[in-house]
Structure 1
Amino acid sequence: MTNRISSNKKENEKKKISKRLEKQKRKNERKANNSKKSFEDMIAYIDETGQITSTPPDVKIENKNHNI
């Protein structure tokens, strides 16, 4: 009976170690990919027609609208 308990403990310990190693492996993969976007990549602009674009509006056109 005691052998069975100790073998279950060994199996559980092996499972814990394997889970820990898998978690560390996934963490290292995320760090290696490092697909973070910069702040400038996340900014969206709205053009004259109300469409969302990734390019900033022309400063000349914007200044003309403010002067009127």
Structure 2
Amino acid sequence: MSKLGKFFKGTRSSRARAAPSAQEALARLRETEEMLAKKQEYLENRIQRELALAKKHGSQNKRVY
């Protein structure tokens, strides 16, 4: 093993290697799902605003963008 490998071998914590329990994994998945749902809603709203703006100024005022 190289010197760098030996140096970095002990830097991982035991928690990083241990698998989370089923309850912890489900909680993390729920949090991730909520975050992704909020992000999706925000992006859909932003798309709608941009489309409305493009339709409003698309053929008349091209400097709005």
What TM-score results when the alignment is normalised by the length of structure 1?
0.49
The separation in 1 between residues aligned to 2:45 and 2:29, in whole angstroms, is 24
Could you say which structure has the higher helix fraction?
2
Task: Identify the structure with bigger relative contact order (alpha carbons < 8 Å, sequence gap 6+).
Answer: 1
Could you say which structure has the higher strand fraction?
1
Query: Aligned residue for 1:54?
Result: none
The separation in 2 between residues aligned to 1:12 and 1:31, in whole angstroms, is 28
Mark the runs of 5 or more structure 2 residues left unpaired by the alignment.
1-20
- Mapping for residues 25-36 of structure 1, pairs under 5 Å: 25-34=45-54, 35-36=57-58
Query: Aligned residue for 2:44?
Result: 24
Runs of 4+ in 1 over 2 A off after TM superposition: none
Mark the runs of 5 or more structure 1 residues left unpaired by the alignment.
43-68
The separation in 2 between residues aligned to 1:22 and 1:2, in whole angstroms, is 30
Sequence identity (%): 12
What is the aligned-residue RMSD (CA, Å)? 1.9
What's the CA shift string for 1:39-67, capped at 9, x where partnerless? xx77xxxxxxxxxxxxxxxxxxxxxxxxx
What TM-score results when the alignment is normalised by the length of structure 2?
0.51
